[in-house]
Chains A and B, each alone.
Chain A
Amino acid sequence: MLGTLVQQAVNALTIGSIYALIALGYTMVYGVLRMINFAHGEMFMLGAYAAFLALTLMAGDAQTAGGVVLMIAFTAAVVTVGGVGVVLERLAYKPLRNSTRLAPMLSSLGASLALVAGMQILAGPQPVAFPSLFPSIPYDVLGGTVTSVQIGILVAAFVLMIGLWALVNRSRMGVIIRAVSESRQTARLLGINVDLAISMVFFAGALLGAAGGILYASYYGIMSPTMGAAVGLKAFTAAILGGIGSVPGAMLGAYILAFIEVAGTALLPILTGGLVGTEYRDVLAFAILILVLLVRPAGILGEPVSEESMVYKREF
């Protein structure tokens, strides 16, 4: 029993870490631009494809690539996708910065469509097998099985999240980003390079999303052009759950969502006597989201704004 519990908890932590990496991108863009970037899920997908391409170019066959090659491919892929994030912002969102709130969001939906379709044309619509980034060695922890793949994903995700934390809280760039997210106009008046800060946010967000995509593809051993949509929606839900705009909130939301999902998958069929199966775990995720928003409309760690104080966030 304890073994199963440990194993399920590690499963939840693993998938939660991946959600957290992606959720951070949503929340940072929202924090700075007050915009939902629907194309962010596609950074996740692009990450996996870029890493696969890098591996194939360097090792000839992606499935047999060794340690150093894997590290280089991982780095090259996430940096490239970070760059794609910056370019996307310049082309599709920057011209709309002073437009209605709805416009950049819809523009990002267009970008999302275009990126998925573009990848389907380039790589074909079928799913592709993805190599494991880490050797798969099972360990016995308190009676449950934990694989080295899961440990590797946890470590990689933690390193990236600590890196982001350091960037935001301990670097000059972080001060600039926080200033811009506080008030774009004031930051500009104080001589802060707002465009640079926004580019940096898109770079870091897309980079983390791409890393999440590579870890996800490596965990499940498969990638497809449409993989960004489903997982992106999940990560997005996590960001909202935690309080969109809040970095710790995105991480907390991601882990909560992952634990609910894993618990739901394990418990739903037992609790309902097989009547409700695992296929309802997404319903569970959205239902929890709606319930949380009813009690705390700004999410768990979001600033508890009253409806009245949200007037300045007026929509389109």
Chain B
Amino acid sequence: MSAGARTLEASARVSRPVAVLIVALAVALIALTPFLPNYYIRVANSLLIYVLLGIGLNIVIGYAGLLDLGFVAFYAVGAYAYALLASAQLGLHLPLLLILPIAVSLGVMAGVLLGIPVLKLRGDYLAIVTLGFGEIIRILVNNLGTVTGGPKGVARLDKASIGGLEIARPGEIYWLLIITVLVAGVLVWRLERSILGKAWAAIREDQDAARGIGINTTNAKLAAFATSAAIGSTAGVIFAASQRFVSPDSFSLQESVLIVLMIVIGGIGNILGIIAGAAILILLPEVLREFAEWRVLFLGVLMIVLIIARPAGLVPRRFGPETLLRGLFGR
């Protein structure tokens, strides 16, 4: 996609009936899912966690144009924060609402920690260093056996609860996720339209020009890593609270790659694209469950075919949530 096409203001249009139909379908789907059998709610939860992860990683990749292959590190930070602070592992049994800010702060710290050394790097080198960072975190988690439980992980995490309201069953986790995704989605959407978001777009299009017109690229990049890490660790906390078990297996390089792919296949820089990408990469393997060992092979081939068929993603960047809003309310 050319730079010109990417910077083009959102110009996609949908007519009001189409917008109403799409939004009504989405609302109906969201409202009806909790009434499905538990298995389907679990699949929906897994989908929503990936949407949340996609929203987070998209800040770095889609907005700031920095390729991060170690995103799963922040997911791990959040998940282990919950696992250690809400289990018998350290003897602490903190409530969810206390762990969340702690995990987010830890995630932001990890994000800045990763951000500082990679500020000088670009493109492929950046991808490698972030990949190395993700691996370092995974190896640490795998080997700090006395704290993290090593390869066995941490089991029997506390049930999450907010003000006496227990959040442990799939249906309850579902609503927690819906609310979190909505909050994160709106937050990031606003962020993209803020001064900071414009700075990110400028860095993505031409870093040198961005610096030339006085944008502090260092701070803008650090902010991108930090906000994306905050969302990643939030996803980790909810993941840990819903599984009530964490182990290093959940934070492999493949996981990072899956999230990058989700964004790219769905359409970079666009929340509707993230949802589409997550739906394909998370739901399809579920549907193919009976072909157990063939599904990874199929997924790999599908990845290649999708990238070749639609290199710019399924949902065009200019077709975002605002397209729907404009369709609904007119201009």
Residue-wise interface mask of A (303-316) relative to B, using a CB-CB cutoff of 8 A (1 in contact, 0 not): 00001101101111
On A, residues with C-beta under 8 Å from B are 30, 34, 36, 91-92, 95-96, 99-103, 105-107, 109-118, 120-121, 229, 233, 236-237, 240, 244, 277, 279-280, 282-283, 286-287, 289-290, 293-294, 297-298, 307-308, 310-311, 313-316
Residues of A within 8 A of B120 (CB): 294, 297, 307
Q: Is A96 within 8 A of B139, CB to CB?
A: no
Residue-wise interface mask of B (100-125) relative to A, using a CB-CB cutoff of 8 A (1 in contact, 0 not): 00000000000000000100111111
Q: Is A110 within 8 A of B301, CB to CB?
A: yes
Residue-wise interface mask of B (235-258) relative to A, using a CB-CB cutoff of 8 A (1 in contact, 0 not): 000000000000000000110010
The smallest beta-carbon distance between A307 and chain B, in angstroms, is 7
Q: Quick check: which of B126-134, B174-182, B218-226 contacts chain A, the rest being far away? A: B126-134
Q: Is B296 within 8 A of A113, CB to CB?
A: yes
Q: List 20 A-B contacts (CB under 8 A).
A: A36-B127, A91-B304, A92-B304, A95-B308, A96-B308, A96-B311, A106-B264, A109-B261, A110-B299, A113-B296, A113-B300, A115-B300, A117-B293, A233-B253, A237-B132, A283-B140, A297-B121, A307-B120, A314-B123, A316-B65
Residues of B within 8 A of A112 (CB): 300
**A101 closest partner in B (C-beta):** B123
Residues of A within 8 A of B131 (CB): 233
Q: Is B300 within 8 A of A110, CB to CB?
A: yes
Residues of B within 8 A of A106 (CB): 260-261, 264, 303, 307
What is the CA–CA distance of A109 and B67 in the complex, to the nearest angstrom?
15
Q: Is B1 within 8 A of A100, CB to CB?
A: yes
Given A118-B297, A286-B136: 10 more A-B contacts, CB < 8 Å: A102-B264, A107-B304, A110-B301, A114-B297, A114-B304, A240-B128, A283-B140, A287-B136, A289-B129, A293-B128
Does B135 make an interface contact (CB < 8 A)? Answer: yes
On B, residues with C-beta under 8 Å from A are 1, 65, 67, 117, 120-125, 127-129, 131-133, 135-136, 139-140, 142-143, 206, 208, 253-254, 257, 260-261, 264, 268, 293-294, 296-297, 299-304, 307-308, 311-312
**B143 closest partner in A (C-beta):** A279
The secondary structure that dominates the B interface is helix
Select A283's contact among B136, B257, B296, beta carbons within 8 Å. B136
What is the CA–CA distance of A160 and B129 in the complex, to the nearest angstrom?
30
The smallest beta-carbon distance between A276 and chain B, in angstroms, is 9
Select A293's contact among B129, B297, B312, beta carbons within 8 Å. B129
Q: Is A121 within 8 A of B67, CB to CB?
A: no
Select A313's contact among B122, B260, B293, beta carbons within 8 Å. B122
What is the CA–CA distance of A315 and B300 in the complex, to the nearest angstrom?
23
Residues of A within 8 A of B117 (CB): 290, 293-294
Residues of B within 8 A of A280 (CB): 139, 143
Residues of A within 8 A of B299 (CB): 110, 113-114, 117
What is the CA–CA distance of A237 and B302 in the complex, to the nearest angstrom?
28
The smallest beta-carbon distance between B42 and chain A, in angstroms, is 24
What is the CA–CA distance of A101 and B1 in the complex, to the nearest angstrom?
11
The smallest beta-carbon distance between B256 and chain A, in angstroms, is 10
Select A103's contact among B121, B129, B136, B311, beta carbons within 8 Å. B311
**A285 closest partner in B (C-beta):** B132
Select A110's contact among B67, B128, B307, beta carbons within 8 Å. B307
A115-B300, A287-B136 known; A107 vs B307 contact (CB < 8 Å): yes
A282-B135, A313-B122, A315-B122 known; A289 vs B303 contact (CB < 8 Å): no
